[in-house]
Amino acid sequence: MARAKCCGTTTAATAESEPVRLSDVIIFTHPACLAHDPGPEHPERPQRLEAVLAGLREVHGDLDWREAPLAKLGDLRRVHSESLLREVLESDFDGYRMLDPDTVMGPGSRAAALRAAGAAVAAVDAVMLGMEGKNGSTTAFCAVRPPGHHATRDTAMGFCLLNNIAVAAAHACDSHGLERMAIVDFDVHHGNGTQAIFCNDPRVAYFSTHESGLYPNSGLPQERGVGNVFNSLLPPGSGGFRFRNVWADVLLPELDAFRPQLLLISAGFDAHMRDPLADLMLETEDFAWLTRELRAVARRHAFGRVVSLLEGGYDLEALRECSVAHVNELR
């Protein structure tokens, strides 16, 4: 579909022999992300983020809470075309505007999209500066919406307006000189937009498990990019045993071999057994297990640096539980 080029020379060595201190997670969010309203009965509703924030504040209220800034146009232009940016950021309309049958904008959507992408950029800066002693954190979680991993360079789709995690990855390359960055996507739907943006850029490796036969019907194992794309399909009905084995036997060894200098996570929790939009059978502890494994990889190679962004998850109780467990493992 498209790609974004990352540039700059690396400023970070591997962390395999470096001690990494534990630290609290920085939480980036903004009230504007609650104002994105795709309309009545839409599954990507404001209550999703309300559930996440309520759970995090109840269990992890002592974390470093920060306001997500507005994304800058220069950050967005690294991964998105001018035509998409005009469609999302400059179009005037009243009421609701359908970009496709699933993707709808309301009056608050523009600000929400800018805050969600801005959170991703700020989170990268925060964890990178953390290693320089300017704050105490090497991990961050962006509790934002709309999600982003389906948005391609030119097209908003699948509830996604801007590709937040792609914006973060390109910013990390250009502004922090990283040469090996990994994006891990465990949302039940394949992150077609993220894969397409980076499929020809060997600096960014993409790792994904997702349900077979599900929207957007992409992400086959033979889709390899330039050797930087790793997809594994999970048949409908797959549970935690198969999920963990695929990661432990196939994807985590490839991730470890890549030695990422920064780990980005598309944290979608719609593979949970209670989610209404898919047919996998994962439980909360399965997401916690994978987060622990990813944290270990980050400690070995990336000084513990992890930035996670909320993607899908449409059962409110499951979403709340999984977000809390995920953030707990990032501490």
Of the residues 60, 150, 190, 210, only one is catalytic, namely: 150
Q: Please say if 150 is a catalytic residue.
A: yes
> Residue 106 class from Cβ within 10 Å (0-12 exposed, 13-18 middle, 19+ buried)?
middle
Spatial separation of the C-alpha atoms in residues 4 and 78, rounded to whole Å: 6
Spatial separation of the C-alpha atoms in residues 32 and 14, rounded to whole Å: 37
Q: DSSP string of 59-103?
A: HHTTSEEEEPPPPPHHHHHTTS-HHHHHHHHT---SS-EESSSS-
The C-alpha R_g of the chain, in whole angstroms, comes to: 18
Sign of the C-alpha dihedral, residues 318, 321, 327, 328?
negative
Spatial separation of the C-alpha atoms in residues 145 and 112, rounded to whole Å: 7
Count the Cβ atoms, other than its own, within 10 Å of residue 12: 18
Spatial separation of the C-alpha atoms in residues 275 and 46, rounded to whole Å: 16
What the block records as the tokens of 300 is: 């070995």
Q: Beta strand 104-105 with 97-98: parallel, antiparallel or unpaired?
A: antiparallel
- CA of residue 82 relative to chain centroid, distance: 23
Spatial separation of the C-alpha atoms in residues 331 and 326, rounded to whole Å: 9
56: β partners: none
> Residue 191 class from Cβ within 10 Å (0-12 exposed, 13-18 middle, 19+ buried)?
buried
The catalytic site residues sit at 150
